[in-house]
Structure 1
Amino acid sequence: MSDITDLFNASHQMDAAEIDRINRDFYGRFNYPWLPMVLPQIGDPGFVPRFIAQEVGDFSGRRIPPDGRIWVAGCGTNQAVLTALRFPGAQVLGTDVSTRSLQVARDTADQLGLANLTLEEASLNDPLHEACFDHVICTGVIHHNADPERPLATLARALKPAGVMELMVYNYYHRQHTTAYQKAIRLLSGARGHQGLLEAELAMTRDLIADGRLPGSMAGFLAAQRDLPEPAVADSLLQPVEYSYTVQSLAAMCDRAGLQILQPCVNQFDKLSGQFNWDPPLPEGPVRQAFDALEDLPRWQVANLLMQDASPMLWFYVQQKGARRSRAEIDATFLEQRFRPATTPLRNFVLGADQRYADSGRAGQWPVPALPADPLARAVHAACDGTTPMGTILDRLSPAPDRSPATVTRLRQMLTTPAFPYLVAA
């Protein structure tokens, strides 16, 4: 069996407190993520919670209360701020090990006058809370810990029995270049263990990116970093510790923490790339029939294995072990459900030349764009009147779309999820 040091930029000998200190120093040097140009504030407190409920199969919209408690675990410079803006009726807690990241977040929150956000410096390796959060958000965090199972257990303990966690860890098939580069730069800088010499590593990384003469696929990978902000380059190429997962290994880790995967979460990155589909193109006949007949977890595993670097991010909703609705059950309810168009007032805070945020002064509406870009989704959206079942609407379209699981799931995702919040169950 391969040793962990062969697969990841990690080792068995790492100490949790020491890795926390290293991450604190790393994100003190590189403010990640950088300040966005616009921060949108949702007007309706129930808007985003209702769409999360729909994405996990609860079309009543009650799974996450609008006035609930939310923990953004490993919030960086702006994720807790963005969450407080998206859930204006909730009480949001943001925690991070990086003192500097929290300072940036506090400064932004003060500029926006956010009253529903609390920020604290804390490690996910220490049990902090027990059964008190309706929603936990932890994306891109636990895989940078000495033992990712330890912070995941902390998160699981904090979740209410009916709560929903939004969890993202790196997809193994997405991270082979980053892992190889991180391990190489450690050797080049003379770093021992994970005591990275950041400035030396950053200088050598700039040289390698500019030179562009490495053979093979690493050359293209480094070339893609050329125009990225420094924090993005550092987070990708210089991160001191990084694990990555397949669907199978993520599900097993969740199981050991008393959790189970609910459904994929369509996230902003996969939405931008159009790579959020867990249904690979397969030939009609035995292969497609066998794939569609699989239960959710093995079906996602097959998609992960066949699509590899073209598979979506491992970004899922999870919950404590118990009853869950399958993709087939959710899609069936979607076809029976009546929907109406959804909208909510939107307020935008814009980053000025002085690097401070101010209200744009222009009232807006969410979602943006106001209509779905996909032609089928747009036609369905136009026909939804709050009284006609979705299945009937599809039958009336000309030509009527097929009812394959892939088509129905994709349509549901492009109309009724937080990434595409166009239709709400009537």
Structure 2
Amino acid sequence: MSAAKLIDSRVHIVPGKLRVTEYFFEVPLDYSQPDGETLRLFGRGVRRHVVPHKDQDKLEPLPWLVYLQGGPGFGCQPPQSTSFVPFLLDKGYEVLLLDQRGTGMSTTITAATLRRRGDAQKQAEYLRHFRADNIVRDCEAVRRLLTADHPEDLKKWTVLGQSYGGFCIGTYLSFHPEGLKEVFITGGVPPVSKSADLVYEKTYAKVKERNQAYYQKFPEDADRIKRIYHYLQENKPRLPSGYLTPARFQQLGIAFGQHGGLDTVHDIVLRATIDLDMFGFLTRPTLLLIDGQGAFDRAVIYAVLHESIYCERRASNWSAEKLRSKAGPEFEINLKQSQIYFTGEMIYKDMFESYDELKDLREVADILASYEDWPILYDSKQLARNEVPAYAAIYVDDMYVDFSIASETARAIRNFKPFITNAMYHGALSDKTEDILRQLFSLKEDTID
């Protein structure tokens, strides 16, 4: 960890009396080679702005809380746009919104930046360094830098992980619990030592349930959707980020896992149908609305590394792709069916054809899907004797993180307190911020009664 360093920091006072510090860190690409190639990490530290006492030359240190974003592949939003920051500031934390390596402004991974690495094999080797094991090593390196002058009781920090950020916390608890005071997980209790195939078998079942809920709410959309697919098969209109194929339209189902997701998709279907009724083609506003639902051109890590987050000493072999037919014929685009189901957050080979940003990464994705020697991400024995207080929100109807697998993991981690609900979906941290954080902090403070 000693190879990491803070290379710059800038303080800004923003409206609302927040003190935001922009941090730039340098860390090793490969921690087994601390003197080798480095990456730059970016994060924003935020606390309430107070004027130091006249006898003080600096602010009193506060306990740190670092936020780990979902994904993988997405950076953090500015603190003014992050719903949970005020709640955490009121709890007395200084919050660090850290862009994980390769995301946001932390040595961003794109098709263009990867091309600088060389051929597909070299690009794949580089990407192997961007999973949870190294994200956690980065966190520990940053923690040591930020708490170097803190008193001993403030050197450990709190971690809040949403979705994939919770998976990273599972790795953190496994291999670096010494850096943790407490952890909070929302919609991301990890599938410890579960294969990608098992995970996708479970999540396909939940995606099927959400499709059934969609068609129950909007039965008239069954024929509309088939009409849209027929149009797309014949035309394949151009989007800013690629081409709108039937398979890409089907991927809109990823929204079903969020609050209001059924209505979001229905609105798109309705708009597209009205376009076809009135003009015989999809208008630009409709195409832009559809294009905005996908993020693979802005977060290629999500596409190329998504299945690898489940891999330990085994290959994913395009797990979601091979299990699709087993999940049911409704997931096939067959216009003779009464209903065609949308897909979820699965990654498919056709994405590397319909997204311009992913076209050059198809060979890279194939190489990564074939790797069998992915490092271990979790230590079951360590988790069983865990001493770090852990609090987690587990959603019964989570379409992305299977409830049964999450519950099994919760039972296997010592010192773990879950809040289980069937009244929230995966994105509750942003959609129902106050509700979910109050529940988690009630667990921490033992105030449920």
Same fold (TM over 0.5): no
Give the TM-score normalised by structure 1.
Answer: 0.30
